[in-house]
Structure 1
Amino acid sequence: MAQTRPYYADRSLSAAHYDIVTAADARLTGDIDIYDGLAPAAGSVLELGAGAGRIALALAERGHPVVGVEIAPAMLAQAQAKRAAAEPQVAGRVEFRRGDMTALDLGQSFDLVLCPYFTLAHVPAGAAWRNTFAVMARHLAPGGLVAVHLPLLELMRQPGGPRPDLPVLDRPLEPGGRLLLYVRERLFREAVGRLDQVIEYVELDAKGGVVRRSLERLTYYCADPSPFAQGAGLEPDRAPIALGGVGEIHVFRRAAA
């Protein structure tokens, strides 16, 4: 098998086609409405793992000042380009910064701190989760909320998976090509709550010829977030919010003194 690169790495097709893949993922439908509803009107938002800016820009359009933090340069460049092309009043409400969600200190607080689209699940459920929850608590204004979107463990541990010879996504590309995604490998390690997948991205031209292809490793870790939140002085605010049948948004608030 060809060399496998990390998801969202520089020159990866996962980064190049992030918008196409997320737009096609019906399991994300309604997430922006949920996050908007968790923040007060015009309340400030910190997004950890801002990706290409999908959520941050949408919340800015709804009147929220947003700081989006992203560690992957390829994703951050896309977010900044979208901000530059946005309407001035929207662009003025959003800022993108490069940073590590496990070791961040912006010196300011926010009404809502987000860790959306399985971002926390990309790092091991140990010190990295403890540090990330500490970062979220550190940036939380009094009365504010933390929202963390995580995959469902019972789905991650299901045996089997998509057939490796059939695409799980087939979408058009300009001008006339197509993007295909295949799940070539899938393995869940129960002892560490880790799901490893090798996803192959294939770009086709208008005649069906292969333009580019890329094997990329997508890893998710899953655990109960509550102990990590409690360790950071946060407590559950409500029952987890189901999203798309494959994940839940866990909402926390600062524990009473």
Structure 2
Amino acid sequence: MTKEHGDRRDLGLSLKLLWGDRTRPPRGRPPTLTLDQIVAAAVEVADELSRTEGIEALSMRAIATHLGVGTMSLYRYVPGRSELLDLMLDHVIDVPDDEPDDERGWRGILADEAREHWRLCMDHPWYPFVDQSQPLLGPNSMRGLDRLFRRLRPSGIDDRTLMMMFIVQNDFVEGIARSHLNERRAERRTGMSNEEFWQTQIPTLVDALESGDFPTMADLADDTFDSAYDEIFEFGLNRLHDGFAAFIAGRAG
């Protein structure tokens, strides 16, 4: 059975690294690096590797090479790749400064949160592919949740419902992001654009449609398949929020 990121990590050490003193290694000679430098370098390496390969390609050796140090020196700061991934996931979360008098309402707040999450996935293409079935809450993720719920609570929606709305939205964003990133990765890996990929199929598909075996497909509008992922994302997000709004209104009635 394949082990996922969370199966390999030392939970206690990950929590200690996330919430403890990160300025120096726990033992050995005076430090030449900081843990934050290692995490930032790991994010840079993962960003580059994940444009053509998966997060599986990230290794302690690749990070050490990027930093110009020996691989074993990294283990003075972090026990392994799994714990490092926990630190990376928290590192890339950017929590904006709070703004007073937020009047966007729950829908505007969640929409902006979703678009920020989408940008995070696009900026760090490895992020939505890391197994977070048992996520660790670090300082940045905790700060982000604290800020989000502080803004959402004036809506009057109970905390449990707000959390379920947030989880459903996050899963939607990351699902669409993975599809989009897989398409982009395939383009780089094969050297064939998505448009070229579909162009190679057109003669075969035209023959199939003209056979009469697929009358509904043959009658589809010309622009049926023209939606880009950004458009699909916005369409799905709005329909998701329409569903939340209908649920909230029905419960209030």
TM-score normalized by structure 1?
0.24
Bigger CA radius of gyration: 2
- Structure with bigger helix share is 2
- Structure with bigger strand share is 1
Q: Which structure would you say has the larger RCO, counting Cα contacts within 8 Å and 6 or more residues apart?
A: 2
